[in-house]
Amino acid sequence: MNTGTVIFLNGTSSAGKTSISNELMQILNEDFIYLSVDNAIAGVNDMLMNMFGKQITRDEIRTIEHEEMIENPVISLFHHYIMAFSRIGKNVIVDHVLIDRSWLEECIKLLHNTQTFYIGVHCPLEELERRERERGDRPIGLAKAQFEMVHKHSKYDFEVNTSDNSITECANMIKDFIITNQPNALKELKVKMNL
Ligand SMILES: Nc1ncnc2c1ncn2[C@@H]1O[C@H](COP(=O)(O)OP(=O)(O)OP(=O)(O)O)[C@@H](O)[C@H]1O
């Protein structure tokens, strides 16, 4: 069975990952499934509500989420289904914020042998903070809190900067890259990080 192509976008909140993903799904010649870390967390919360809705309230689920009581297993499940979808031949676009070295390490271990293009989505902090204020649906300070961590250990196959280029330009550059190159970054990171 052929493995699917994974376009793995890593960047802070408000960097433009969702916007690039939507554009990519319009312009790529094959079908891609969009897998977002935000949706993964929301999906587990919905599952808990479905399973325990009579015994547990939405507010209690939010407390579990905000105090990060089950965060790492949920994120790990997300990483595993990226790998599983790829292994069964699905093309996926991943929208992720790798704020923890162990999350990156797990992605490398699971995906280094798949067709995963690891893409850095950059944006200067001042512009991230402007977008955060403008959109109003993310806590103020979220991008700043993630900023130092997200790209810390990474070496990418390709990088874009959404303050230098429009979303359409970024998506087209990513498309051009993936149809003319083979991914290598996760293999190199595996060696560099001794995994
Ligand atoms: N190049 C750009 N120029 C101006 N605004 C942009 C640009 N890219 C994204 N934005 C705006 O920034 C906001 C966040 O974009 P988007 O949702 O794509 O980011 P994200 O990285 O997916 O964020 P999150 O991880 O918080 O979901 C949106 O309001 C979007 O319109």
| Digit-coded pLDDT (tens) for 80-112 | 999 999 999 999 999 999 999 999 999 999 999
Residue 4 scores a pLDDT above 80: yes
Whether complex ipTM tops 0.90? yes
Q: Which atom of ligand 1 is nearest to the CA of 134?
A: 29
| Residues framing ligand 1 (Cβ under 6 A) | 11, 13-19, 38, 95, 97, 131, 135, 138, 162, 166-167
Residue 168 scores a pLDDT above 90: yes
Looking up residue 162, the CATH number of its domain turns out to be 3.40.50.300
Number of domains in the chain: 1
| 3-state SS class at 17 | helix
Cα-Cα-Cα-Cα dihedral sign, residues 129, 130, 132, 133: positive
Q: Whose CA is nearest to atom 13 of ligand 1?
A: 14
Looking at residue 1, its pLDDT comes to 66
Angle, CA of 114, 4 and 191, to the nearest 5°: 10
Percent of the chain with pLDDT over 70: 99
Question: How many angstroms does the Cα of residue 192 sit away from the middle of ligand 1?
Answer: 31
Domain residues for the domain of 39 are: 5-192
Q: Whose CA is nearest to atom 25 of ligand 1?
A: 13
- Exposure string of 123-146, with b = 16+ CB inside 10 Å and e = fewer, is beeebbbebbeeeeeeeeebbeeb
Looking at residue 2, its pLDDT comes to 79
| 3-state SS class at 171 | helix
Q: Which residue has the tokens 């490398």?
A: 108
Q: Which of 17, 95, 131, 144 to mutate to test the pocket of ligand 1 (most atoms within 8 A of CB)?
A: 131
14/63 Cα distance (integer angstroms): 24
Give me the residues paired with residue 92 across strands: 6, 33
Q: Which atom of ligand 1 is nearest to the CA of 132?
A: 13
125/131 Cα distance (integer angstroms): 10
User: What mean pLDDT comes out for the span 44-54?
Assistant: 92
Please report which confidence band the pLDDT of residue 30 belongs to, taking 50, 70 and 90 as the band edges. very high
